[in-house]
Structure 1
Amino acid sequence: MNIAIYPGSFDPITKGHLDIIDRGSKIYDKLIVAVLVNVDKKCLFSIDERVELIKRVTKDLDNVEVLSFEGLLVDFARLHNSKVILKGLRTMSDFEYEFQMALMNSKLNPDIETVFMMTSSAYSYVSSSSVKQVAKFGGSINGLVPEELIEEVMDKFN
């Protein structure tokens, strides 16, 4: 079975993330969305909330599993029999950062490959950080996050 891991903090999940998940699910037999517990980052949603939100918006994708993890991504991949880390890219700065991470992961486990997927142009400007900033100041996040999550994201700021 060809299993890929799509890691991230997903705080909150955006339409750009969902685009990568949807497209990745068509390429791999199984796609595990790995929600990172990042102790260095103050998150808007708890790890359990993020996992639940992603499960809700991916419920129609039968080969997608959503799990949380902490520690090294290569260890998580090994634990789940995955040889592929799927990373979404929006910009050249994303590539520079993700390329360094891919080299480090390859050093830690040469059997794991990182595959880069360009986000659809419709979402190339969308990031979780920008969504939070727009929501914080009362702007519209329509079209940035899945429709069924808009109210929950906005409620975090009210």
Structure 2
Amino acid sequence: MKRAIFPGTFDPFTIGHYSVVQRALTFMDEVIISIGINESKRTCFPTEKRVEMIRKLYADEPRVKVEAYDGLTVDFALQHEAQVIIRGIRTVRDFEYEETIADINRKLSGIETILLFTEPELTSVSSTIVRELLQFGKDVTPFLPEGMDINL
């Protein structure tokens, strides 16, 4: 079984994240959406709520699992016998950061990282922008996957 993890904060899970998962499912048997717990990062939604929102979104897709983790992403990947780490790339800056992390993860574990470039129409969508829009009471449904309920 080809298993990948797709790590991130997913605060909230956007149409860009959804696109990456859907594309990864075309070449992976299973994708574990891995919600990293980072106490130093200020989030809008508690970890448990993010897990619940994403699980509900993928309730009818048995090849997608959702789990929270604390610690190194590469350790989580090893614990779940993942062969690949999937990451989405929106900008050159993302690429430079992810390349460094991918190199370190490969040296630590032998696990490869596959970078999926964001579809052009989604490059402006980020969790940071969605959170800011939410703070100002704006409708963020155009930036969320269809069926994503942020009001659970």
Q: Does 1:135 align with 2:139?
A: no
1:71-110 equivalent positions in 2, closer than 5 A: 71-109=71-109
Cα offset for 1:142?
2.8
Gaps of 5+ in 2: none
Q: Secondary structure at the match of 1:20?
A: helix
**Structure 2 CA distance for aligned equivalents of residues 18 and 136 of structure 1:** 22
Q: Measured at CA, do residues 151 and 7 of structure 1 come closer, stay the same or move farther in structure 2, by a change above 3 Å?
A: closer
2:34–2:67: 8 Å Cα contact kept in structure 1? yes
TM-score by length of 1: 0.90
TM-score by length of 2: 0.93
The amino acid that maps onto 2:132 is: Q
Say what the alpha-carbon RMSD is for the aligned residues.
1.5
1:22–1:61: 8 Å Cα contact kept in structure 2? no
Identity of aligned residues (%): 38
**Structure 1 CA distance for aligned equivalents of residues 60 and 89 of structure 2:** 24
Aligned position for 1:156: none
1:1-150 equivalent positions in 2, closer than 5 A: 1-109=1-109, 111-149=110-148
The ranges of structure 1 where at least 4 consecutive aligned residues each deviate by more than 3 angstroms after the TM superposition are 147-151
1:25–1:61: 8 Å Cα contact kept in structure 2? no
Q: Secondary structure at the match of 2:151?
A: helix
Q: Deviations over 1:99-130 (max 9, x none)?
A: 11111212211x20000001222211101000
